[in-house]
Amino acid sequence: MFSVCGRACVVEGVGSGRGVCCVK
């Protein structure tokens, strides 16, 4: 459900505050 994207994406509760996961 969550994929690692090259661009920093803001996802609540994902990426440990880094926001490197996108919903695909």
Tell me the per-residue pLDDT of 1-24, one tens digit each, with 9 for 90 and over.
556 665 556 555 555 555 555 555
- pLDDT (0 to 100) of residue 8: 57
* DSSP β-bridge partners for residue 23: 2
Residue 9: count other Cβ atoms within 10 Å of its Cβ: 17
- pLDDT (0 to 100) of residue 14: 55
- pLDDT (0 to 100) of residue 16: 53
- pLDDT (0 to 100) of residue 7: 59
**Cβ atoms 5, 14 nearer than 8 A:** no
Which backbone phi and psi does 9 adopt, to 5 degrees? -115, 140
**Cβ atoms 1, 21 nearer than 8 A:** no
Is the pTM higher than 0.85? no
- pLDDT (0 to 100) of residue 23: 56
